[in-house]
């Protein structure tokens, strides 16, 4: 079983839709969880950062972490064509033993 | 710019060439990383430097050789590459290894012919 599982999509939604992106993981020691957005021909940029379980909201974006289920989600409300990108989840144990482990990324397309 | 600058943006090299990729960060971060991004695969961690010291070499072939002369600069020296090494090579930095958000450069798109 891979350490971080993420459905690569592609996922296509109409403008204004609520988008749900998810990752599952197997390592119960992960405690730092992140979502990155990567536009074509660009490097990933940090979108959301969460420590341990819980929710975090930033504008139209909400990140959820459920450590008991080893499941993290990113919700995008009122999606816009400019949200079209690949979204990568990433997580780490932290400390000197913990480097970021990435999912494969989900390619999202928001149609006007 | 994101604060992490990578050059060149694109590189085409033959299997017998020697070339180097350069990364520079202007964020005062202490950790720097090289990642390889191939189609339909997760980002693969190659090397980690923490306070200029290499702390991880993720079983990378010796045809890839990193160098970190100071905490702001990171190089990846390439020689005798194979076509399967064609990929996007990303440099990243972070304040703390593993626990803080990484800032990525735009990458070098490498094609080995």
Rounded Cα–Cα distance for residues A6 and A103 (Å): 5
Q: Given this model, what pLDDT does residue A112 score?
A: 95
pLDDT-based confidence at residue A96 (cuts at 50, 70, 90): low
**Based on C-alpha coordinates, what's the Rg of chain A?**
14
Q: Given this model, what pLDDT does residue B96 score?
A: 75
Q: What is the pLDDT of residues B32-85, one digit of tens each?
A: 999 999 988 889 999 999 888 888 777 899 999 999 999 899 999 999 999 999
β-strand pairing of B18-25 with B73-79: antiparallel
Interface of A with B (CB under 8 A): 4, 8, 32, 34, 36, 41-46, 49, 88, 90, 92-105
The answer to whether residues A80 and A15 touch, using CB atoms and an 8 Å cutoff, is yes
Most confident of A2-16, A43-57, A66-80: A66-80
Distance from CA of B4 to the nearest CA of A (A): 10
pLDDT-based confidence at residue A8 (cuts at 50, 70, 90): confident
pLDDT-based confidence at residue B8 (cuts at 50, 70, 90): very high
Report the mean per-residue pLDDT for chain B. 91
Percent of chain B whose pLDDT exceeds 90:
72
What single string gives the DSSP state of each residue in A17-83? --EEEEEEE--TT--EEEEEEE-TTS--EEEEEEESSEEEEETTEEEEEETTTTEEEEEESS--GGG
- Partner residue opposite B106 with nearest CB, options A43, A92, A101: A43
**Chain B, window 51-70: residues with a beta carbon less than 8 angstroms from a chain A beta carbon:** 55-56
Contacts of residue A43 in chain B, CB cutoff 8 Å? Answer: 2, 4, 6, 90, 92, 104-107
pLDDT-based confidence at residue A93 (cuts at 50, 70, 90): confident
**B40 with A104: Cβ contact below 8 A:** yes
Mean pLDDT of A63-75: 96
pLDDT at B2 over 80: no
Rounded Cα–Cα distance for residues A52 and A20 (Å): 20
**B42 with A92: Cβ contact below 8 A:** no
Q: Given this model, what pLDDT does residue B58 score?
A: 77
Q: Given this model, what pLDDT does residue B95 score?
A: 86
pLDDT at B99 over 90: no
- Per the model's pLDDT, the better-predicted residue between B94 and A78 turns out to be A78
* DSSP code for A100: -
pLDDT at B1 over 60: no
Q: Given this model, what pLDDT does residue B72 score?
A: 93
pLDDT at A58 over 70: yes
Phi, psi of A104 (to 5 degrees): -70, -20
């Amino acid at each position: 079983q891979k350490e971080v599982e993420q459905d690569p999509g592609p996922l296509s939604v109409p403008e204004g839709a609520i988008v749900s992106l998810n990752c599952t993981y197997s390592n119960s020691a992960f405690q730092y969880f992140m979502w990155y957005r990567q536009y074509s021909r660009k490097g990933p940029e940090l979108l959301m950062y969460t420590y341990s379980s819980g929710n975090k909201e930033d504008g139209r974006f909400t990140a959820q972490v459920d450590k008991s289920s080893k499941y993290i989600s990113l919700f995008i409300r009122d999606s816009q064509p400019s949200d079209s990108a690949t979204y990568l989840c990433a997580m780490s144990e932290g400390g000197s033993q913990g480097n970021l482990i990435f999912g494969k990324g989900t390619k999202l397309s928001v149609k006007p | 710019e994101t604060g992490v600058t990578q050059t060149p943006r694109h590189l085409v090299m033959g299997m017998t060439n020697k070339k180097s990729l350069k990364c520079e960060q202007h964020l005062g971060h202490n950790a720097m990383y090289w990642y390889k991004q191939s189609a339909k695969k997760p980002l693969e961690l190659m090397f980690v430097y923490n306070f200029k010291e290499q702390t991880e070499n993720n079983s990378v072939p010796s045809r890839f050789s990193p160098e970190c002369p100071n905490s702001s600069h990171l190089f990846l020296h390439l020689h005798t590459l194979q076509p399967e090494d064609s990929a996007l090579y990303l440099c990243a930095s972070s304040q703390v290894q593993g626990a803080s958000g990484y800032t990525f450069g735009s990458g070098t798109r490498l094609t080995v012919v």
